[in-house]
Amino acid sequence: MEKESAILELYEYVQMNKTSSKEYSMKLRKFIEAKENFDKQLIDVQKEQLEKLLELCGDMHGQEFKEYFIAGFTLATKLMAEVFINKNENEEWDNGANAVVNSVVMVFLMG
């Protein structure tokens, strides 16, 4: 679907250009520290199992974030489309919501 691929392209752009908040950085440091301390208590086999588990967890969260981004972007765009359509209710739009979605995606990708 063209709309979804444009949204995924926007998601990738946001991922590449995002910055982390101080709160996130602090929580990440605490996690890394706790994991390193925990790793010291494990034997090699357990460390490998933990790494595989954390990798699966990371993959799952990555997919979840992507789906939340798509759902949020789609909802926000529908809200914008509704505002534009109601504002221009006397004008005839060719599939107005999709026109707005495509315009917004293009603005973000080019901006």
Domain tally, the chain:
1
Structural domain harbouring 91: 2-13+20-110
- List Cβ<8 Å contacts ≥24 apart for 96-102: 98/3, 101/3, 101/6, 101/74, 101/77, 102/3, 102/6
Tens of pLDDT along 26-68?
999 999 999 999 999 999 999 999 999 999 999 999 999 999 9
Residue pLDDT, tens place only, 66-90? 999 888 888 888 888 777 776 665 5
